[in-house]
Amino acid sequence: METIRVSIVEDTAEIREGVQFLLNQTEGFVCVSTYGSAEEATIGLPVQKPDVVIMDINLPGISGIECVRKVKPHLPHTQFMMFTIYEDNEQVFEALAAGASGYLLKKTPLPKIAESLRELHEGGSPMSASIARKLVATFQPTPAGQTLTAREREIVDCLAKGLLYKEIADKASISINTVRQHIHNIYEKLHVQNRTEALNKLYGGR
Amino acid sequence: METIRVSIVEDTAEIREGVQFLLNQTEGFVCVSTYGSAEEATIGLPVQKPDVVIMDINLPGISGIECVRKVKPHLPHTQFMMFTIYEDNEQVFEALAAGASGYLLKKTPLPKIAESLRELHEGGSPMSASIARKLVATFQPTPAGQTLTAREREIVDCLAKGLLYKEIADKASISINTVRQHIHNIYEKLHVQNRTEALNKLYGGR
DNA sequence: GGTTTCCCCGAACTTTCGTTCTATTGACGG
DNA sequence: CCGTCAATAGAACGAAAGTTCGGGGAAACC
């Protein structure tokens, strides 16, 4: 098991040094650098090329999310673990979109942090179960979707793939007029006007 | 801390009884019913109304996923934990779409199972870190998206919301012809033919 | 200065989408 | 037996989506 090289970006000296101390105590980890601001990290990280980065979100000046957005493209093999006190909805998704792969709360016990960093480095995405639920929710159909018949769900599936009416008709071995009829019924049930709105309603718009 | 009422759906008697035994041994859990097939579970679960259900995927006859799809609408307060040996890509998303909220591998150590069930019941979504990564990936922009210009990304954003060309034109204060042009360019860059395909390519098809 | 890239616009055109109306069939439950 | 619902289908139509021409201006880069 090779040693994982970690960098820490965190403005509170106490936390920064605490985590650093913990990691250097822990078998299999070494803290190669720490930064008190996103500005410092933006310069330092591309040089250090750590395996994983612990990134605070609420930094003075540039935010941790913005920092990930800037640095990640130059460090495709480095994994970013967001580290925050808030379990903020918006920020979770924004951070993931920026290129982070893990999301830890600061209240996480220290041993658990080390374990999560290892998982992150091994290709996992450790995050608190409550944050995971937010992600999961975007995959679950809305109550409205439940009222669709089996046939309608099958056709919605085709819609989601971007198939043309003609292609759906062939696939389901029915006429294109029937496809039209089914889709019309689907739109009515979901109270939408077109394909994109329907898919957003069913699978969560993004 | 109230007791969590659990039902188990699993065709292998050994595993079924093993987990049942474990839970009844564990403080805070009680196993209220077990089923060896989806057919039995479909009838029994709505009666028992357990807090959480451990659902095997590979059942003889009707699959566990199909079973969740059928039963979940009648049990909105019951949480489903999928339970499987495979870490199959397709099945993960399908199960989540069907209404499951957690996803555990059978190799998970027994104490960890109990902990995960509790997290599930408390509104979390426990799952292995590697499965979480698959979810996270769907929120991260694809390489293809990187080549789009700022203006194009802005318009793609509108496409994702299901706006009409006219609405996009108004929002961006440009003519509808320019919108057409931009979108045409976007489709070319992404090598797709229509809105739905483009969105699938950018945000991960589902 | 020339080239490239992005953004902008018009216009005519084809294709696909979505609506509406009507109608038949089979399955299912009271 | 009768009403309801899901699935099937045709046909005609307007609305929206996408294609393909043409062109112009502004900033960035050799």
This prediction's pTM: 0.67
pLDDT, position A123: 86
pLDDT, position B54: 95
Confidence of residue A151 (pLDDT cuts 50, 70, 90): confident
The DSSP code for A42 is: H
Test the A interface: residue of B52, B119, B133 with most A CBs within 10 Å? B133
The answer to whether some atom of strand D lies closer than 7 Å to the beta carbon of A194 is: yes
pLDDT, position B172: 84
pLDDT, position B127: 84
Residue owning tokens 């793609």: B156
Distance B101 CA to C4 C1' (A): 51
- The rounded distance, in Å, linking the Cα atoms of B203 and A132 is 18
Of A80, A73, A87, A74, give the one whose Cα is nearest residue A125: A80
Whether the predicted pLDDT of A82 surpasses 80:
yes
- The rounded distance, in Å, linking the Cα atoms of B122 and B152 is 42
Q: Do B124 and A133 touch (CB under 8 A)?
A: yes
The answer to whether some atom of strand C lies closer than 7 Å to the beta carbon of B197 is: no
- The rounded distance, in Å, linking the Cα atoms of B146 and B205 is 17
pLDDT, position A1: 65
pLDDT, position B50: 94
pLDDT, position B177: 92
The answer to whether some atom of strand D lies closer than 7 Å to the beta carbon of A163 is: no
* Choice between A46 and B88, residue whose per-residue pLDDT is larger: A46
pLDDT, position B30: 94
Instruction: Give, in degrees to the nearest 5, the angle at Cα A62 between A56 and A68.
Output: 55
% of chain A beyond a pLDDT of 90: 31
Q: Do A126 and B139 touch (CB under 8 A)?
A: no
**Interface of chain A against chain B, CB under 8 Å?**
73, 93, 96-97, 99, 101, 116, 119-120, 122-130, 132-133, 135-136, 139-141, 146, 159-162, 192, 194-197, 199-200, 203, 205-206
pLDDT, position A206: 47
Give the residues across from B29 on adjacent strands: B4
Q: Which residues of chain B have pLDDT under 50?
A: 206
3-state secondary structure of B47: helix
Cα of first residue to Cα of last residue in chain B, in angstroms, is 38
* Choice between A102 and A136, residue whose per-residue pLDDT is larger: A102
pLDDT, position A66: 82
The DSSP code for A67 is: H
Cα Rg of chain A (Å, integer):
23
pLDDT, position B183: 92
Protein-covered nucleotides of chain D (CB closer than 7 Å) are 6-12, 16-22
Chain centroid to Cα B12, Å, comes to: 25
Residue owning tokens 């929710």: A137
Residues of A in contact with B125 (CB under 8 A): 129-130, 132-133, 135-136
Residues with Cβ within 8 Å of B7's Cβ and at least 6 positions away in sequence, in order, are: B31, B32, B33, B34, B35, B41, B44, B45, B48, B50, B52, B53, B54
pLDDT tens column, A112-140? 899 899 989 988 888 877 777 777 766 66
pLDDT, position A134: 75
